[in-house]
Copies of this chain bind each other. A is one copy, B any other.
Amino acid sequence: MPKHQSAGASGSTLLGIEERRARTGGGSTAVDRWLTRKILTESGDPPLVIELWDGTRFEPAHASGAAPEPVARVEIRDRRTLYGLLVNTDVAFGDAVSADRIRIHGDLVTFLETIYRSTDDAVPRDSWKRRFKAWLNRPRRNTRAGSQSNIHHHYDLGNDFYRLWLDEEMVYTCAYYPHENATLEEAQRAKMDHVCRKLELRPGQWAVEAGCGWGSLAIHMGREYGVHVRAFNISHEQILYARERAAALGLEGQVEFVEADYRTVEGEYDVFVSVGMLEHVGVDNYRTLGEVAARSLKPDGRGLIHSIGRNAPAPNNPWIERRIFPGSYPPSLAEMSTIFEPQELSVLDVENLRLHYARTCRAWLDRFDAAVDRVEAMYDSDFVRAWRLYLSGSVAAFTTGSLQLFQVVFAPGTSNAVPMTREHMYPRN
């Protein structure tokens, strides 16, 4: 197990530290250094260099003496920030990075992956280590009220902002990379086709979509598969955008965008589809969502729900909950089953696309970084740092397996209009 040595504790560097103390206002104390070592130990001694505001450094070292190569240097720039990590780790870390009071020198994704992996061993439920991991466990906590304001917070930041780093069709959910060299644009189209094939869409059928984002899937289903679509969303900005796009494509009669909650869906459809909404529904509402899906499907209908998930239930991340993505929660498959089982809906197919979401988030992060000057001009540098942390943390969460992406196909339990095999999902090129 690697141990951290405090370089600051050795006499030879003390002079340099004294100089810095004068600049930063207050040198680190023995208590500060003890707390830093404790944080490192409880984090599983990740291969990091920690540097305090006075230059005191904690470098990784094996007990055997062979020090692992550090993956990043974490600069904690004042005492208040250090103490904040102990009191309210989850929110404090994210806020400190956003406010530039903690700086990560080195690749942010690699740093976050390292933290995920070092804290991956079993640890007591209430330890600092687990709380720190909980911080990393992406956004999305369940809230019972206020879907409208939660969704507004994130999705109504402005279409111009998302246009800077999403694909041209504004798809803000996991893409599907059919081959190694696919671009984000190709992968988002491939995802929509993958979903449509799973649903076995046929021209003239009726589909209802719960949570339609900027309308890309609804438009794709209408334009490419000849389906009538009624698509629901409570984000005003997204609905306006989707309607404009449908009108420009001459699809007004075929693809309808409804600014309303999924719970208001009425009528019977051949297909019920929901891609990337479940994260915002909250486990307490899964039974209701299942009721909506069950009552919306004709006896021989098919459904698909696509959601971020987890291998096991875990607490969510209060920082992302507060600052980035209010009201969201990624469920485990057992939690998701409360959508299906009370309605005796039959689960036909589950596919885990975790590594596709890691690639998708990486593509978004790269585009975000390329557009960072324009983002900063639209907002400010705190916003940029917060979103870089959120996108980088998402890459790391999917790469390390902290988050999953589940696509679930289902049908009414009494329907025999279900495919014998999944060959149709993999057409010969």
Residues of A within 8 A of B (CB): 117, 120, 176-178, 311-313, 332-334, 337-338, 340-342, 344-352, 354-356, 399-401, 404, 406, 413-416, 418, 420-423, 425-426, 428
Q: Of the candidates B334, B351, B352, B356, which one forms a contact with A346 in the assembled complex, judged by CB atoms under 8 Å apart?
A: B352
Q: Of the candidates B313, B355, B422, which one forms a contact with A422 in the assembled complex, judged by CB atoms under 8 Å apart?
A: B422
Bound-state Cα–Cα, A425 to B426, Å: 10
Other A-B contacts than A346-B352, A426-B426, 12 sampled, CB-CB below 8 A, are A332-B337, A334-B338, A337-B337, A346-B354, A347-B406, A349-B351, A351-B422, A354-B418, A355-B418, A356-B420, A399-B416, A428-B428
Chain B nearest CB, measured from A397 CB (Å)? 12
Given known A-B contacts A401-B414, A426-B426, A428-B428, A420 and B341 have beta carbons under 8 A apart: no
Contact A177 B420 (CB under 8 A): yes
In the complex, the chain B residue whose C-beta lies closest to that of A412 is B401
Chain B nearest CB, measured from A142 CB (Å)? 18
Bound-state Cα–Cα, A313 to B338, Å: 12
Chain B nearest CB, measured from A415 CB (Å)? 7
Q: Kindly report how many copies of this chain are found in the complex they form together.
A: 2
Chain B nearest CB, measured from A353 CB (Å)? 9
Contact A349 B348 (CB under 8 A): no
Contact A413 B401 (CB under 8 A): yes
Q: Of the candidates B120, B333, B425, which one forms a contact with A337 in the assembled complex, judged by CB atoms under 8 Å apart?
A: B333
In the complex, the chain B residue whose C-beta lies closest to that of A419 is B355
Q: Within 8 Å CB of A349, what residues of B? A: 350-352
Q: Of the candidates B176, B311, B416, which one forms a contact with A345 in the assembled complex, judged by CB atoms under 8 Å apart?
A: B311
Given known A-B contacts A422-B422, A426-B422, A352 and B347 have beta carbons under 8 A apart: yes
Chain B nearest CB, measured from A386 CB (Å)? 28
